[in-house]
Amino acid sequence: MNEKKLTKLLKEAAANHKLKTGFKEVMQYIKGTKLIVVSNSLPLESETKLKEIAAEGGIEVIHYSGNSVLLGRLCSVSYGTSVVSLKNVSDEEISELKN
């Protein structure tokens, strides 16, 4: 995963208020989401549920190797977050992240 590209995308989305953080909020606003970033702090049963719904909707899920605090810092928020969803991400940017 390209961590620099991920950092840039998350900071831009946070500045433009275009990201959702936290499991409950991501699940509530999952419609129209293109990318979900999951930290290693998310409980396994929540991750399984999220992946199932993402697979049904054709949503890309990327694992971030850090914990929820580090993911929160990447998003420029003052709290930890185990899940982040982005709607305004192009397919090209998603493929760049995966490489």
CATH at 70: 3.30.1330.30
The number of domains in the chain is: 1
* pLDDT score recorded for residue 1: 74
The series of mean pLDDT values per 10 residues for the chain, 99 residues long, is 86 89 94 93 94 94 93 91 92 85
| Cα-Cα-Cα-Cα dihedral sign, residues 43, 28, 37, 21 | negative
Q: Is residue 38 assigned to a domain?
A: yes
Q: Which domain holds residue 32?
A: 3-89
* pLDDT score recorded for residue 55: 94
Nearest to 85 by CA among 3, 22, 2: 22
* pLDDT score recorded for residue 69: 95
Angle in degrees, 0-180, between the axes of helices 3-15 and 91-98, rounded to the nearest 10:
140
φ/ψ of residue 19, rounded to 5: -130, 155
Q: Is residue 96 assigned to a domain?
A: no
Residue at token pair 């950092």:
7
* pLDDT score recorded for residue 97: 85
Q: Is residue 12 assigned to a domain?
A: yes
* pLDDT score recorded for residue 76: 87
Q: Is residue 71 assigned to a domain?
A: yes
